Structure 1
Amino acid sequence: MDTELLKKGPVMSRETFSRFGGLWIDRMDCDAELARRTVAGTFPEEVSRLIQSFMRDGFVVIKSAVSKDLTVAIKSELEQHWRSSPPGAMIEHWTPQGEQIFVPPALQYRDGPTKLLDFHAFSETARQAIAAPKVVAFLSAIFDAKPKAFQSLTFWRGSQQAIHKDTAYVQVDGAPMKLAASWLALEDIHAGTGELEYYVGSHRAPDFLFAGEHKWLEAAPHEHDRFLASHHEDAAKYGFKRSSFLASEGDVLIWHADLAHGGSVITESNTRQSLVTHFTPEKENPPYALKGPINRMEVGGCQFISVARQ
């Protein structure tokens, strides 16, 4: 547990929907602020419409945000990455015994409950796709800053992960709500393949407080099951509709830090190849970036950082 980070804690706010603050789109007056910025011409009209949808639903879909040339190239690079990984490449894998392990990529793990970590650190092609112009334009607008990509996860099959909120696991130092994520379909997604699912509007539900005061799970790991159950209870209480994303190759879904989402149950044998990336405004950092050497890159107006692995 990062006790120093927990001691430091986030700045509390009651001007935002979450007591932990957030972006300008999370302020109680966000609708008026969007109207003001739209009238002032701060954003193109298309971006303003996307922001309005994002504030209401907790996500937006940008159709054909990434060209098929890029998605095909990424899949080719991923195949090589799995068969002959470069030094420092890692996956997160869960064994049949329920043990979480971190090992280099190998084909024996690809079909299992596995996440390929930080592919963006090894692939210029992946960075270009993550920094697709429409994605960067949207993130820059809600961040009021250049986006910083600091964690990516690549999936071969659906994760079947329980519905959850990223703010319990993905840390931004002192600012848990200054976070967004993108989900890029690397192929057409079919029902039954573990497609992404979510509760529409759930980003506005009350904060779940670990140990009665924290946003991050590490403050009280024993409360994890209660945390997961709370999303379904909130959906029933506030009327959040459960929905899913059957994407076409190249589509990107961007979700809010507190959108309740997960991977649906797999009933078909098809793959569900996808690339997930987590972002924060350029001046913010995940805790690891403050503690050790990191790699820094920039593509298309988006910063990229990753752990400097040997």
Structure 2
Amino acid sequence: MKTLPTNQWTQELPWIDRPGANVRAYLSNKKTAAPFDVEQKLLFWQENGFVVFENAVEKSLLDQFEEEIEYIRTHSHDRNISIELQGKQTYTRAVAPDKLNDPGVKFNHLHTVSKYAAQLSLVPAVSQFLQIVFEAPAAVTQSLTFWRGSQQPIHIDYPFVCRQKRLAYIAASWIPLEDISPEAGPLEYYPGAHKIAISGFFNWGNGDIIKGADSMQNSMEFAKYLEERVKAAGIVPVVFCPRKGDVLIWHGNMPHAGTAIKNPELTRKSYVTHYTSLADYPDSWKIPSEQWDHRSIHCNGGYAFQYPWTDEKDALPSWTT
């Protein structure tokens, strides 16, 4: 269990988060080849905790991924795909096929069974940007596919996504599968609140800064704490209504939330990925290197792996062809 903030976060920071980090000086000693203004993006990330790349995802890839999700719905008992249904974790074979159309259904870790999902996680803008931030290739740790707005209270990722070797080596991307309406419960985030001076460290109990099975505090208490911190700092959330093909990348300490759904008839189709560096990928999740050819996707410098416990028979058509 990770317990001491000063040992588990502040002493193990990516270069850009370290005290006195100078982006321009750093880049003067590095050779970077990326199809975007690296300095501008890094400076914005350092100050705000997020970057947006517009029209950075091929629409054909998004369409292929949507078609594969529809394939899951129509062949739900052919494979055991992890899902969340009404807040509970289960599998496609365990539920009636029509339940996969219910509001709030979430598909878990499709990057381990769908080549299209893995490629979405590793689109060029994301893989190339995070490789600079991590000083190492990005590796996918988990992915979540939403059909409707989550309406999730304000939270930060790392207390929940914490299997990486160095806690602070975490980031996320959010890709819309369609144009997002402000009535559909869009995502919101809090620019600048990724800085520890603003967010602080929430004590889940006994000094723990990550949530565990025996935590004394709950997620609603965490949300209240964050609301008070961002209010005290005068930070106003930004509601994110992107167009299909855009991508948002946010810092692992960036507070964000799902806003209220105003029109329940609307979808908010989106794909979320969490990352660490390849060096920080959990040892217990690694597959043998001789299996990488058929159990991993290496794309644009980043990596997506099947979990050791992934049943290869559950792989979707895109992965196996």
In the superposition, the TM-score normalised over structure 2's length comes to: 0.84
Matched, 1:235 2:203: no
Letter in 1 for 2:69: L
Matched, 1:211 2:205: yes
- Written as runs of structure 1 = structure 2, the 5 A alignment for 1:161-240 is 161-204=152-195, 205-218=199-212, 220-224=214-218, 225-240=220-235
- Residue 174 of structure 1 deviates from its aligned partner by 4.0
Residues 199-255 of structure 1, C-alpha deviations (whole Å, 9 max, x = no match): 111111212232242221116533123211111101111122211110100110001
> Mind listing any 5+ residue stretches in structure 1 that lack a counterpart?
1-5
Cα distance in 1 for partners of 2:228, 2:173 equals: 26
CA contact (8 A) 1:150 1:306 kept: no
Q: Cα gap change, 1:287/1:198 in structure 2, threshold over 3 Å: closer, same or farther?
A: farther
Cα distance in 2 for partners of 1:20, 1:290 equals: 25
Equivalence for 2:29: 40
SS across alignment from 1:266:
coil
Matched, 1:93 2:88: no
- Residue 11 of structure 1 deviates from its aligned partner by 8.2
SS across alignment from 1:80:
helix
Residues 67-116 of structure 1, C-alpha deviations (whole Å, 9 max, x = no match): 11111111111111122145231101225xxxx23221744133322220
91, 97, 112: which is aligned to 1:103?
Answer: 91
CA contact (8 A) 1:211 1:219 kept: no
Equivalence for 2:319: none
CA contact (8 A) 2:143 2:271 kept: yes
Moved more, 141-150 or 282-291: 282-291
Moved more, 182-191 or 110-119: 110-119
Cα distance in 1 for partners of 2:24, 2:207 equals: 34
Letter in 2 for 1:102: T
SS across alignment from 2:32:
coil
Residues 271-307 of structure 1, C-alpha deviations (whole Å, 9 max, x = no match): 1111100110001124751699995332221111232
272, 277, 296: which is aligned to 2:273?
Answer: 277
Cα distance in 2 for partners of 1:214, 1:161 equals: 22
Cα distance in 1 for partners of 2:253, 2:213 equals: 18
Matched, 1:136 2:127: yes
Residues 180-213 of structure 1, C-alpha deviations (whole Å, 9 max, x = no match): 0000111000102011111111111212232242
In the superposition, the TM-score normalised over structure 1's length comes to: 0.87
Q: Cα gap change, 1:72/1:280 in structure 2, threshold over 3 Å: closer, same or farther?
A: same
In the comparison of the two structures, how many residue pairs are matched? Answer: 295
Matched, 1:50 2:45: no
SS across alignment from 1:183:
strand
- Residue 13 of structure 1 deviates from its aligned partner by 4.8
Equivalence for 2:62: 71
Equivalence for 1:3: none
Letter in 2 for 1:92: E
